[in-house]
């Protein structure tokens, strides 16, 4: 609808001798460069001052993520450093566990057959011996975890036997196998321990270490380059970078490595530079993704790479985009912190988890609960609604357009409302993804 | 029951010229020192070769944890590094958010009153102006996030207006407030953001950064000294330290800092040294906690500090203990990896979370599900049963005494069976704490 090809706008009426207003300074926008580029015809995907045309459906954007988010290559890491890492190959037991018949309870190793019939009124007298081997009439003092002495087949508990010098008075019988953990009873050599894609847990490390495994093959962690546009505040008092700390924490949560990148004055140049630079498996360019005159992120991507998706039917975060610079996938995230958070959770997080070999679905714990106050959504948009739980029931923490990132601070979690719905009425049951 | 004060046992019959068997070497135990100490009367709390007497109830051990696990002192950290940290003071908004009336949608800032009656058949002509101020008959090109130009009270979307040079043709009306986010609508200065004890989440950092907050007061992370006994393998092939990697991961999970400590040959000396050394808020001494002849951990603690609890009615992990060396709390964890894991989860984890100002309850996500295969437990013992979920139903992954740490590797989570119960029959509904 809007045709602005020939516009000169505010920037065009700058008087001679007057300095150009700082981009993003909040005091007007220099549109000279903008217009010149537009009239030169370099407007492929340029939505500035036009608005998005047809929005890309949520599912289609997710398909882009699935298509371009393949697990990275494999690396070997020390078991001691492997917690949270994702297995690149199925894990098999390299030995029996335990590796030998082992004492599992403190006591006296005996030959169980000799204790038959022993009791308080019929004590059995055994002779305390040294390990390693047990001969008839003998017993050996043992502690849990030790290899079982040869010839023994049970461990008599301290409560059932009294030592006196080298003599052991046995006051009960013990069945074969008591107090013993047989070789391989926990794990047989060759048994499958865990499948590809399993993120290793603390106890898994203990099993691997018990088996004598020192290194394990895992999917390399995705390196995520972050280029963050300066916030649009008052030029006299530029607001801090609100998205950087949040995104770095989210990237780490999803198993990525946030690669250092500062807030840049010239966002377009910074994106181009990051696209061209070596290193990193994914580029997140944050801010300047909308339809305003200074929204240059998509142009930077379209100019030096390829813009596949821009403008998605999700809210907040619909100005997100996706594309590639050579082999490097690039995701554009909106600069508004709540929109940035939502677009990250819906798309960038899934991309990082895919690249790291993880389940691409939302990693949040989730619970089903009943809506107590109406959740409003626009038909046609997949909407992310921040909610709190009050007495186990769900209510929004912000309303569309007035919640902002503070609504996510107030929230216990969020509800994703599918595009065909106009929200949820009180009484509806919804799935709440819990912020952790 | 068992009286062993005068025993000489295996160690006593070592012949002259024969080297003492290596402690824990699995080939016999040198009991000379043991006996000498015992006969000197330094046997306070010495359960070796006797067994535990009355076990301490689970709840009583938890009370010890509650009594000695107070939140540590406060430190200030950068907001950018504060994710996961626990607030030491309630957090209040230091400013309005947004800090000024702000543009929330890209478009043209106008005075809404002037657009009344404008339409496709009755276009309104405005003149595009420079910021900062709007005068009658003017409009200013704006982008989301910018401060609202003075005099404007709405933003006309691009779809409703066409620019042509300095002229803007307005093809519709816009209501006051549209496309604008008013100062303080997200947060009012002074509003409570989060209470004491809240672990900061990624989006919380974004709010703090948006408010210009740079530092935040959080509870100091507990430094946890780990002293781990060498495993009891075959002396010719000492098994690796299975508990260290697991415990370090668990300590980090619970917000603690695992302080480096190696596996020591002489566990008793290592514990004494760690108790005396500066630094650290908690000591976890791992291994040698049972009733066997080489189980010296409790003696080390009783000798150089105070042993408050030893032998708890829980399984696995009942040989755990608790005490103090001066101000330093000490928890003894069993050396068997599964017992170590369970005692950590029941006691040490709660201690670390308390010291770090966190909720002491189990941090695992939990779900209720139906038992499909009997869970066996002994009356009188609080038991931790490793379970897997098959088609949403719960079954044990090991049986008492034959599961070992491999049963935790196979498990999706665990069920805690209270002491008065002898387990759960199929059909019972139980709470499963999920391993993550």
Average pLDDT over residues A180-208: 95
Structure tokens given for A123: 């004590």
User: Looking at the domain that runs over B53-70+221-355, which CATH code has it been given?
Assistant: 3.40.980.10
- Its ipTM equals 0.87
Tally A–B CB contacts below 8 A. Answer: 338
For the stretch A95-120, pLDDT in tens is 999 999 999 999 999 999 999 999 99
Residue of chain A nearest B31, judged by CA positions: A141
Q: How confident is the model at residue B53 (pLDDT cuts 50, 70, 90)?
A: confident
Query: What pairs with residue A332 in β-bridges?
Result: A285, A321
- Report the C-alpha gap between B326 and B221 in whole angstroms: 20
* pLDDT in the model for residue B261: 67
Q: Which helix (H) or strand (E) holds B393?
A: strand B393-396
Predicted local distance difference test score (pLDDT) of residue B403: 77
Chain B positions in Cβ-Cβ contact with residue A292 (cut-off 8 Å)? 106, 142-144
Checking if the pLDDT of A375 tops 50, the result is yes
CATH topology assigned to domain A102-181: Molybdopterin biosynthesis moeA protein; domain 3 (2.170.190)
List, for residues A32-67, the tens digit of each pLDDT value. Answer: 445 555 544 334 567 888 888 789 999 999 999 999
Nearest to B402 by CA among A187, A141, A288: A187
At residue A191, the pLDDT reads: 96
DSSP H helical ranges for B58-148: 58-68
Domain boundaries along the sequence of chain A? 49-70+221-355, 75-97+186-219, 102-181, 366-434
pLDDT number for residue B130: 82
Q: What CATH code would you report for A49-70+221-355?
A: 3.40.980.10
Q: What is the pLDDT of residues B176-206, one digit of tens each?
A: 999 999 999 999 999 999 999 999 999 999 9
Does residue B402 register a pLDDT over 80?
Answer: no
- Mean pLDDT, range A259-277, rounded to an integer: 81
Q: What is the pTM of this model?
A: 0.88
pLDDT tens by residue, B84-138: 999 999 999 999 999 999 999 999 999 999 999 999 999 999 999 987 789 999 9
Q: How confident is the model at residue A294 (pLDDT cuts 50, 70, 90)?
A: confident
A-proximal residues of B, 287-306, CB under 8 Å:
290-295
Q: What is the pLDDT of residue A59?
A: 97
Tokens of A33: 């460069």
Q: Which residues are B119's β-sheet partners?
A: B122
Residue of B157, B186, B291 lying closest to A106 (CB–CB): B291
Q: Considering only CA atoms, which of B167, B161, B118 is closest in space to residue B138?
A: B167
Q: Which of B22, B95, B104, B144 to mutate to test the interface with A (most CBs of A within 10 A)?
A: B144
Nearest CA in chain A to B180: A401
Buried residues in A279-301 as b, exposed as e (16+ CB within 10 A): ebbbbbbbbbbbbbbbbbbbbbb
- Residue B261 sits at the vertex; the CA angle it makes with B255 and B263, to the nearest 5 degrees, is 125
Greatest extent of chain B over all pairs of C-alpha atoms, in Å: 116
Residues 315-354 of B with CB under 8 A from A: 335-338, 340-341
Q: Chain A, 177-216: which have a CB under 8 Å from a chain B CB?
A: 181, 185-187, 193-194, 201-207, 209-210, 212, 214
Q: Angle A312-A362-A86 (CA atoms, 0-180°, nearest 5)?
A: 125
Mean pLDDT for A316-341 is: 96
The span from the CA of A406 to the CA of A397, in Å, is 9
pLDDT score at B241? 83
Is B278 at the interface with chain A, CB within 8 A?
A: no
Instruction: Identify the helix (H) or strand (E) that includes residue B119.
Output: none
The architecture CATH gives domain B74-97+187-219: Alpha-Beta Complex (3.90)
Summarised one tens digit per residue, pLDDT across range A404-421 is 999 999 999 999 999 999
Among positive and negative, which fits the CA dihedral B411, B415, B416, B422?
Answer: negative
State the burial class of residue B160 (Cβ atoms within 10 Å of its Cβ: 0-12, 13-18, 19+): buried
Matching residue, tokens 């043991």: B34
Q: What is the pLDDT of residue B398?
A: 85
- The closest of A143, A134, A145, A144 to A110, measured between CA atoms, is A134
Are B228 and B263 contacting, i.e. CB atoms less than 8 angstroms apart? yes
Strand, helix or coil at A347?
A: helix
Contact of B246 with chain A, judged by CB distance below 8 Å, is answered with yes
pLDDT, averaged across chain B: 87
Give Cβ neighbours of residue A36 (< 8 Å, ≥ 6 apart): none
Contacts of B100 in chain A (CB under 8 A): 234
Q: What is the mean pLDDT of residues A210-215?
A: 93
According to CATH, the superfamily of the domain at A366-434 is: MoeA, C-terminal, domain IV (2.40.340.10)
User: Among partner residues A12, A31, A145, which is closest to B232 by beta-carbon distance?
Assistant: A145
Top pLDDT among B333 and B27 is at B333
Question: How far is it, in rounded angstroms, from Cα A391 to Cα B155?
Answer: 40
Report chain A residues whose CB lies below 8 A from the CB of B163.
Answer: 2, 4, 7, 9, 49
d(CA B289, CA B42): 17
Instruction: Identify the CATH number of the domain defined by range A75-97+186-219.
Output: 3.90.105.10
DSSP character for B235? Answer: T
B252 interaction partners in chain A (CB closer than 8 Å): 83
Residues near A261 by beta carbon (within 8 Å), at least 6 away in sequence? A225, A226, A227, A228, A270, A274
The predicted structure's pLDDT at residue A260: 76
Q: What's the sign of the alpha-carbon dihedral A313, A318, A324, A330?
A: negative
Helix (H, G, I), strand (E, B) or coil at B329: strand
């Amino acid at each position: 609808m809007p045709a602005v090809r020939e516009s000169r706008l505010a920037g065009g009426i700058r008087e001679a001798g007057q300095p150009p207003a700082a981009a993003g300074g909040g005091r007007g926008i220099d549109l000279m460069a903008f217009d010149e580029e537009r009239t030169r015809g370099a407007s492929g995907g340029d939505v500035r001052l036009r608005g998005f045309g047809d929005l890309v459906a949520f599912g289609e954007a997710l398909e882009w993520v699935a298509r371009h988010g393949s697990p990275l290559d494999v690396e070997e890491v020390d078991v001691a450093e492997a917690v949270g890492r994702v297995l690149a190959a199925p894990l098999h037991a390299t030995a029996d566990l335990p590796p030998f018949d082992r004492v599992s309870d403190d006591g006296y190793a005996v030959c169980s057959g000799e204790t038959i019939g022993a009791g308080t009124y019929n004590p059995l007298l055994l002779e305390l011996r040294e390990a390693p081997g047990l001969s008839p009439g003998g017993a050996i003092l043992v502690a849990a975890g030790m290899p079982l002495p040869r010839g023994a087949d049970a461990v008599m508990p301290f409560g059932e036997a009294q030592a006196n010098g080298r003599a052991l008075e046995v006051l009960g019988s013990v069945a074969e196998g008591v107090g013993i953990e047989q070789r391989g009873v926990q794990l047989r050599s060759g048994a499958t321990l865990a499948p590809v894609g399993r993120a290793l847990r603390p106890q898994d490390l203990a099993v691997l270490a018990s088996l004598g495994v020192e290194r394990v093959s895992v999917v390399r962690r995705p390196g995520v380059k972050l280029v963050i546009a300066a916030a649009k505040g008052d030029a006299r008092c530029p607001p801090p970078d609100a998205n950087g700390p949040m995104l770095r924490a989210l990237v780490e949560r999803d198993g990525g490595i946030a690669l250092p990148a500062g807030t840049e004055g010239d966002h377009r140049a910074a994106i181009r530079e990051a696209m061209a630079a070596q290193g990193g498996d994914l580029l997140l360019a944050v801010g300047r993704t909308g339809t305003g005159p200074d929204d240059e992120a998509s142009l930077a991507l379209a100019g030096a790479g390829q813009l596949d998706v821009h403008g998605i039917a999700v809210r907040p975060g619909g100005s997100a985009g996706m594309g590639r610079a050579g082999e490097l996938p690039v995701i554009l995230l909106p600069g508004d912190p709540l929109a940035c958070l939502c677009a990250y959770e819906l798309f960038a997080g899934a991309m990082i988890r895919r690249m790291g070999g993880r389940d691409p679905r939302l990693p949040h714990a989730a619970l089903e609960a009943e809506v107590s106050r109406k959740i409003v959504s626009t038909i046609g948009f997949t909407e992310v609604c921040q909610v709190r739980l009050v007495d186990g029931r769900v209510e929004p923490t912000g309303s569309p357009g007035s919640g902002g990132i503070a609504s996510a601070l107030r929230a216990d979690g969020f509800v994703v409302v599918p595009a065909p719905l106009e929200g949820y009425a009180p009484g509806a049951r919804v799935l709440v993804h819990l912020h952790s």
